[in-house]
Copies of this chain bind each other. A is one copy, B any other.
Amino acid sequence: MALVVIGGVAAGLSAAARARRIDPRLEIVVLEKGPVVSYGACGLPYFVEGRVREASQLIVYTPEYFRKERNIEVRTGARVVGISHPRREVALESGGRVHYEHLVIATGARCDTAGIAGAQQPHVFTLHTLDDAQRMRRFLREKQPRRAVVIGAGYIGVEVADALRRNGLRVTMLERSHNVLLRDDPRLTAAVHRQLEEHGVELRCGVSVDAIEPDRVADVPCGMVVIAAGFKPNVEIASEAGVEIGRTGAIRADDRMETSLPGVYAAGDCAEVTHLVTGRPAWIPLGTTANKTGRVAGANAAGGRQRFAGVVGTSIVGIFGMGFATTGLSPEQARAEGFSPLAARIEAPVRPRYFQGRKTTVELVADRPTRRLIGGSVIGEEGAAGRINVIAAALQSRLRVDDFEQLDLAYSPPFSPAWDPLLIAAQQLIKEL
Contact = CB atoms under 8 A, between A and B. Distances in A.
A354 B389 contact: no
A234 B418 CA distance: 22
Interface string A308-352: 111111111110000101010000000000000000000000001
Nearest to A419: B291
Contacts of A318: 412, 414-415
A292 B419 CA distance: 9
Contacts of A316: 410-412, 415-416
Nearest to A60: B353
A352 B40 contact: yes
A20 to B, nearest CB: 15
A394 interface: yes
A273 to B, nearest CB: 10
Contacts of A408: 276, 288-289, 310-314, 327, 392, 396
Interface in A277-304: 286-289, 291-292
A413 B312 CA distance: 20
A275 to B, nearest CB: 10
A43 interface: yes
A383 interface: yes
Contact of A415 (B57, B313, B323, B419): B323
A291 B416 CA distance: 14
Q: Which 8 A-B pairs have the closest CB atoms?
A: A386-B386, A397-B397, A316-B410, A57-B354, A309-B406, A385-B415, A318-B414, A393-B393
Interface in A391-433: 392-394, 396-397, 399, 403, 406-416, 418-420, 422
A51 B386 CA distance: 25
Contacts of A180: none
Contacts of A390: 386, 389-390, 393
A355 interface: yes
A58 B354 contact: yes
A287 B418 contact: yes
Interface string A257-274: 000000000000000000
A300 to B, nearest CB: 15
A384 B418 contact: no
Contact of A352 (B43, B286, B419, B422): B43
A353 B309 contact: no
A10 interface: yes
Residue picked from A388, A389, A411, most chain B C-beta under 10 Å: A389
A372 interface: no
A314 B418 CA distance: 12
6 contacts: A60-B353, A309-B406, A385-B386, A387-B389, A389-B390, A389-B420
B288 A418 contact: yes
Contacts of A413: 40, 42-43, 46
A228 to B, nearest CB: 15
A117 interface: no
B407 A393 contact: yes
Nearest to A159: B412
Contact of A409 (B384, B392, B403, B422): B392
A190 interface: no
Given A43-B352, A415-B323, A410 B388 contact: yes
Nearest to A430: B306
Contacts of A392: 407-410
A182 interface: no
A402 to B, nearest CB: 9
A159 to B, nearest CB: 8
